[in-house]
Amino acid sequence: MPSPKRIGKIEFGLLSPKEIRTMSVRKIIWADTYDDDGFPYPQGLMDLNLGVIDPGLRCKTCDQKASECPGHFGHIELAKPVIHVGYTRLIRKLLRVTCRSCSRLLLSPEEIEKVVGTEDDLTGDVLSEKDIKKERLCPHCGEQQLKINFEKPTTFSEIFVDDGRKIEHKLTPADIRARMEKIPDEDLRHLGINPDVARPEWTILTVLPVPPVTMRPSIILENGQRSEDDLTHKLVDIIRINQRFKENQDAGAPQLIIEDLWELLQYHVTTYLDNEVAGCPPARHRSGRPLKTLSQRLKGKDGRFRGSLSGKRVNFSARTVISPDPNLSVIEVGIPLAVANEMTIPVQANPFNIEELRQMVRYGPHRASLSAPCGANYVIRPDKRRLRLAEGNLENVAEMLEPGWTVERQIRDGDIVLFNRQPSLHRMSIMAHRVKVMDGRTFRLNPAVCPPYNADFDGDEMNLHIPQTEEARAEAAILVAVEENILSPRFGGPIIGGIHDHVSGIFMLTNQLKWHSKEEALYLLKNIGVEHLPAPGKNEGGRPLWSNKQIFSTVLPKELNMVFRASSCQNCETCRRELCERDAYVRIIDGILESGTIDKKAIGAFDGQIVNRIIRQYGMKRAAEFIDAITHLSIRAIMMNGFSFGIDDEDLSKTEYGQIEEVLSNAVNDVQRRIKIYEDGQLEAMPGRTPEETLEMQIMQVLGKARDRTGEIAGRHLGLGNSAVVMAVSGARGSMLNLTQMAGCVGQQSVRGERIMRGYDDRTLPHFRKGDRGSDAHGFITHSYKSGLNPTEFFFHAIGGREGLVDTAVRTSQSGYLQRRMINALQDLKVAYDGTVRTTGGRIIQFCYGEDGTDPMKSSFGDPVDVKGIVESILKEEV
Amino acid sequence: MVPDHQIMSEEEVQQLYSLYNITSEQLPKIYHDDPAVKVIGAKVGDVIRIVRTSHTAGRAESYRLVIKRPKK
């Protein structure tokens, strides 16, 4: 491999007219493309010298066929010079810094020296527009300078004052070109321009290069009509106007007509280069679609750089909808048979596998069922020729197969593949899974791997890529595998873990102490691969019984010791530990759950304390097995009783409804009372606040408290028998606030943290009196989602809801752009072997990665060592 | 508030270069007119040691080469 080279310098220059003519193979004078027989016109835009696109024809310049000829440039001689839009700012600068009569820099040598430095002591600075004072005399010829006005896109004019009136004199491109030509080379160097490669007059075009036909191919529509490329259309316009211009010029047409035509030519050349210039109507296709001209080909997301060079489409990939399958392992991915039959892995034939490969070739490209062994789609001979396998040639090819040939076999169970969901915001957005060929048409994945992908199943699609080389597969298995990415480098904790029903299920299984018969115990543990049940916890009436904690303990490693508090912990002032009435004090001693409930804190994605500890003690592989076991166990547990939520789960009893109503009416009255105090001018303002602000704060506080009270009342009625409560307490989904809003009272709607104030005539809606400060007039919703909102409440709810939507939309777009810029700045940095962070050039960014040299993925939530965890697991008690 | 800036001796600088196997070009830079540089009176070409209190490491050292601020 050649060693990397350091770039010494990059030269930016302009194409001179001479160069354009030298590289041109043909002068183009006709605006027509093809004649009636479909043959290109000589000296037309599709001239055969410019390259060929039709198969069968040969290029007149290089005599190669359409597939080999790279294409060649032609040129158009413009009747009069026109400005290149891309250089208008440079032209403006040059016009302003040079003399209008002698074209020299408007600075004396001493003034230049001040900025640029002397010959031996260059400051490295160049002159800019700011270094020149406005409308001064030329230090060389004494000419009075005029103000240069630039009007977008390409108009330059001089302004002089005559009889107190401002007169604008337009500069033609020819005038400007004449001035540029006279600027001495030395002056250009002071301006940071290298005159050897970029004479300023070359920014005014006198001759226009015509790009090869290969970069503007015409396509033949279904009806046999030719459709030309946008660039060709634009070139046709330019040639037409150019032709007319020349004719008029030769015929001695009046100055006015010449000027009009000149402007028109300028317009066409401008839009040919860039069709999105400010102050210039874009050139349009007959259908009204703006033309995609040169600059549009390069710019933007779908442009040449971001669309074709940085990002490309790839082979050996598949994309479809995803759906959940809790029976899969987290390291697996379910792939539809139809996809598996198309996707292949190349296998080199050798004496040891040739019989196996022959058999695959005999099976051919059609794998009928999941149980059938995989076939092959292509065979590649040593001379790189590809043979497509089809019904007819299977036996034949199988016979011909020899060591050295390559067979592209279909993917089968156990193959390693890369799985990805956009937006790929972090490394866990692409992980390597093991293939599991399945029925159906969707990719299947264990819901526990949803958090790293941020996937759900409301129609999300994901991509699959098949690594094609041994190296790629090894990299995928060692670095990208799901088992290697359970920990997130974002916070140094597990990002894969139980979600939703996993958490609810394990919560319902392990909460409080329950006893299960042998049948139940076996039902729960059926899918986990437990070989023997532990000794029964107790015997009752001659029947052995196992406790729920015993059953859970079977999935724990034997030497695990940890103590922590579950999600359902209320942070009581004095913790009653094992005697906690919520059973929130989790104690695991030697792999046995002694007390406590397993929930989100223990096994959830992002928190999973047990998962975290298993990774530290036993490694990621064991953790992946644990997650598999826990998901299977919890799904079984949740299926024992079933888990659902209906409208009547929000029902409360009459007493609760009475209490809620009382709380709310008290609150509303309290608000009225405070408004009265305020209106009487009796309200004492809080320090630093106006009386209005004080009142608002008080109202918000009163109403907030009232809503919380209704939640408490509703919560008293709804116990752990209610599935929404189970979800909220276990941390699976939702919170008690959601339940409050469903059963108790929705509460205050707000915009920017204040009550809703927007509206006309001192009121939010015409349903209220002007100046009404009452709770209902400013978005307090006394009803619950279950009881239903009245129209004004519904309207306020929509206002509050809209704010949330706008916030998320703005946040995602802003953070997306921020991340793009961060990645652009940081993508090539890496940690060197000496622990420093360096650029590709070896320049040091940090002397020690993160100042402590810790890999955040292997850290314990940011800390290099998990002291508490280690001590706990040795002492077997809380510290 | 401002972390400790010190000018490093020639010897220390050579040690630093050999420790990280670098030339002065590969060091992070600091402008000569940076207030912290002006206070300790460092000249263009000096190397400065900056000792910060760090969230992760407690105490972190870094080094910067004083350069002239380009105009504008």
Looking at the complex, report in whole angstroms how far the Cα of residue A156 sits from the nearest Cα belonging to chain B.
28
Cα end-to-end distance, chain A, whole Å: 57
Orientation angle between helical segments A723-730 and A501-510, nearest 10 degrees? 100
* B51 chain-A contacts, CB cut-off 8 A: none
Calculate the CA dihedral of residues A584, A588, A591, A597 and round it to 10 degrees.
0
Q: Check whether A124 has a pLDDT greater than 80.
A: no
Q: Check whether A344 has a pLDDT greater than 60.
A: yes
CB–CB contact B71 A123 (8 Å): yes
Q: Which of A533, A564, A567 is nearest to A551 (CA)?
A: A533
Q: Tell me what pLDDT residue A275 has.
A: 87
pLDDT digits (tens, 9 = 90+) for A157-172: 888 877 778 888 888 8
Please state, in angstroms and as integers, the Cα–Cα distance from residue A296 to each residue in A305, A448, A524, A837, following that order. Answer: 11, 44, 62, 38
pLDDT digits (tens, 9 = 90+) for A479-508: 999 999 999 998 888 999 999 999 999 999
Q: Tell me what pLDDT residue A342 has.
A: 93
Mean per-residue pLDDT for A446-451? Answer: 94
Which of A834, A841, A854 shows the shortest C-beta gap to B56? A854
Rounded to 5°, the CA angle A829-A835-A837 comes to 20
The Cα A718–Cα A377 span in angstroms is: 60
Q: Check whether A339 has a pLDDT greater than 70.
A: yes
CB–CB contact A844 B26 (8 Å): yes
User: In the CATH scheme, what architecture does the domain B4-67 have?
Assistant: Alpha-Beta Complex (3.90)
CB–CB contact B72 A851 (8 Å): no
pLDDT classification of A277: cutoffs 50, 70, 90: confident
Looking at the complex, report in whole angstroms how far the Cα of residue A833 sits from the nearest Cα belonging to chain B.
10
CB–CB contact B20 A847 (8 Å): yes
Looking at the complex, report in whole angstroms how far the Cα of residue A618 sits from the nearest Cα belonging to chain B.
26
- Residue the block writes with tokens 């006005």: A149
Best of A843, A846, A863 to substitute, by most chain B Cβ atoms within 10 angstroms, is A843
Joined together, the tokens standing for residue A818 give: 């921020």
Q: Which of A528, A533, A554 is nearest to A545 (CA)?
A: A533
Question: Any chain B CB within 8 A of the CB of A134?
Answer: no
Please state, in angstroms and as integers, the Cα–Cα distance from residue A581 to each residue in A24, A345, A391, A423, A558, following that order. Answer: 89, 57, 70, 44, 27
* B72 chain-A contacts, CB cut-off 8 A: 125, 128
Domains of chain A: 15-73+211-217 (4.10.860.120), 84-202 (no CATH), 219-312 (no CATH), 317-494 (2.40.40.20), 501-641 (1.10.274.100), 647-804 (1.10.132.30)
Q: Tell me what pLDDT residue B69 has.
A: 84
Looking at the complex, report in whole angstroms how far the Cα of residue A192 sits from the nearest Cα belonging to chain B.
14
pLDDT digits (tens, 9 = 90+) for A705-717: 999 999 999 888 8
CB–CB contact B57 A848 (8 Å): yes
The answer to whether the complex's ipTM is over 0.85 is: yes
Q: Tell me what pLDDT residue A57 has.
A: 79
Question: Any chain B CB within 8 A of the CB of A121?
Answer: no
**In B, what residues contact A, Cβ < 8 A?**
20-22, 25-28, 54-57, 60-63, 70-72
Asked which of A32-41, A81-90, A320-329, B52-61 is least confident by mean pLDDT, the reply is: A32-41
Question: Any chain B CB within 8 A of the CB of A847?
Answer: yes
- β pairing state of A74-83 and A204-210: antiparallel
Looking at the complex, report in whole angstroms how far the Cα of residue B36 sits from the nearest Cα belonging to chain A.
20
Say if CB A591 and CB A553 are below 8 A apart.
yes
Looking at the complex, report in whole angstroms how far the Cα of residue A840 sits from the nearest Cα belonging to chain B.
11
Q: Tell me what pLDDT residue A135 has.
A: 62
pLDDT digits (tens, 9 = 90+) for A813-865: 998 899 889 988 999 999 999 999 999 889 999 999 988 888 888 888 888 88
CB–CB contact A834 B70 (8 Å): no
Looking at the complex, report in whole angstroms how far the Cα of residue B41 sits from the nearest Cα belonging to chain A.
23
**Backbone φ and ψ of A481, nearest 5°:** -55, 150
The Cα B5–Cα B47 span in angstroms is: 10
- Which residues between 808 and 837 in chain A have a beta carbon less than 8 angstroms from any beta carbon of chain B? 834, 836
Say if CB A359 and CB A371 are below 8 A apart.
no
Best of A829, A848, A865 to substitute, by most chain B Cβ atoms within 10 angstroms, is A848
Best of B13, B17, B19, B20 to substitute, by most chain A Cβ atoms within 10 angstroms, is B20
CB–CB contact A123 B22 (8 Å): no
Q: Which of A147, A305, A270, A285 is nearest to A229 (CA)?
A: A285
Question: Any chain B CB within 8 A of the CB of A851?
Answer: yes
Cα end-to-end distance, chain B, whole Å: 28
Looking at the complex, report in whole angstroms how far the Cα of residue A817 sits from the nearest Cα belonging to chain B.
27
CB–CB contact A850 B56 (8 Å): yes
- β pairing state of B29-31 and B58-67: parallel
Query: What sign has the CA pseudo-torsion A135, A138, A143, A148?
Result: negative
* B21 chain-A contacts, CB cut-off 8 A: 834
Q: Tell me what pLDDT residue A468 has.
A: 96
Best of A844, A845, A858 to substitute, by most chain B Cβ atoms within 10 angstroms, is A844
At A204 the three-state DSSP class reads strand
Which of B22, B61, B71 shows the shortest C-beta gap to A842? B22
Looking at the complex, report in whole angstroms how far the Cα of residue A189 sits from the nearest Cα belonging to chain B.
18
- Residue the block writes with tokens 């826990």: A630
pLDDT classification of A121: cutoffs 50, 70, 90: low
Looking at the complex, report in whole angstroms how far the Cα of residue A492 sits from the nearest Cα belonging to chain B.
14
* B48 chain-A contacts, CB cut-off 8 A: none
Question: Any chain B CB within 8 A of the CB of A842?
Answer: yes
- β pairing state of A344-348 and A406-410: antiparallel
Give the total residue count for chain B. Answer: 72
At A837 the three-state DSSP class reads strand
DSSP one-letter code for A374: P
Q: In what helix (H) or strand (E) does residue A336 lie, and over which residues does it extend? A: strand A332-336
User: E strands within A659-759?
Assistant: 747-748, 750-751, 754-755
The Cα A30–Cα A236 span in angstroms is: 8
Q: How many CB pairs under 8 A join A and B?
A: 45
Q: Tell me what pLDDT residue B71 has.
A: 63
Best of A121, A127, A852, A854 to substitute, by most chain B Cβ atoms within 10 angstroms, is A852
pLDDT digits (tens, 9 = 90+) for A642-682: 999 999 888 888 998 999 999 999 999 999 999 999 999 88
CB–CB contact A842 B60 (8 Å): no
Which of A836, A852, A862 shows the shortest C-beta gap to B57? A852
* B26 chain-A contacts, CB cut-off 8 A: 838, 841-844
- β pairing state of A317-324 and A165-171: unpaired
Q: Tell me what pLDDT residue A300 has.
A: 82
Best of B22, B56, B65, B69 to substitute, by most chain A Cβ atoms within 10 angstroms, is B56
User: Count of H helices and E strands in chain A?
Assistant: 25, 32
pLDDT classification of A327: cutoffs 50, 70, 90: very high
Say if CB A438 and CB A404 are below 8 A apart.
no
pLDDT digits (tens, 9 = 90+) for A284-307: 888 888 888 899 999 888 888 888
Please state, in angstroms and as integers, the Cα–Cα distance from residue A364 to each residue in A131, A390, A711, following that order. Answer: 77, 7, 65
Q: Tell me what pLDDT residue A22 has.
A: 92
Q: Check whether A134 has a pLDDT greater than 70.
A: no
Which of B26, B61, B63 shows the shortest C-beta gap to A843? B26
pLDDT digits (tens, 9 = 90+) for A368-387: 899 999 999 999 999 999 99
CB–CB contact B57 A851 (8 Å): yes
Mean per-residue pLDDT for A4-13? Answer: 86
Q: How many CB atoms lie within 10 A of CB A778?
A: 26
Rounded to 5°, the CA angle A363-A368-A374 comes to 45
Looking at the complex, report in whole angstroms how far the Cα of residue A847 sits from the nearest Cα belonging to chain B.
6
Tell me if the bond preceding B35 is cis, omega within 30° of 0: no
Q: Check whether A61 has a pLDDT greater than 70.
A: yes
The Cα A303–Cα A34 span in angstroms is: 29
Q: Check whether A351 has a pLDDT greater than 80.
A: yes
Q: Which of A488, A855, A837, A834 is nearest to B56 (CA)?
A: A855
Please state, in angstroms and as integers, the Cα–Cα distance from residue A37 to each residue in A216, A664, A832, following that order. Answer: 20, 87, 66
Q: Tell me what pLDDT residue A1 has.
A: 67
pLDDT classification of A47: cutoffs 50, 70, 90: confident
DSSP one-letter code for A685: P
Q: Max alpha carbon distance in chain B (Å)? A: 37
* B71 chain-A contacts, CB cut-off 8 A: 123, 125
Tell me if the bond preceding A423 is cis, omega within 30° of 0: yes
Q: Check whether B72 has a pLDDT greater than 60.
A: no
The Cα A182–Cα A138 span in angstroms is: 15
- β pairing state of A562-565 and A585-589: antiparallel
The Cα A778–Cα A755 span in angstroms is: 6
Joined together, the tokens standing for residue B10 give: 């020639």
Average pLDDT over chain A reads 89
For B16, nearest residue in chain A (alpha carbons): A847
The Cα A510–Cα A533 span in angstroms is: 17
Say if CB A724 and CB A493 are below 8 A apart.
no
Q: Tell me what pLDDT residue A516 has.
A: 93
pLDDT digits (tens, 9 = 90+) for B10-52: 999 999 999 999 998 899 999 999 999 999 999 999 999 999 9
Q: Tell me what pLDDT residue A282 has.
A: 85
Q: Check whether A73 has a pLDDT greater than 70.
A: yes
Looking at the complex, report in whole angstroms how far the Cα of residue A845 sits from the nearest Cα belonging to chain B.
6
CB–CB contact B62 A847 (8 Å): yes
Please state, in angstroms and as integers, the Cα–Cα distance from residue A280 to each residue in A78, A93, A183, A274, A277, following that order. Answer: 21, 21, 30, 10, 6
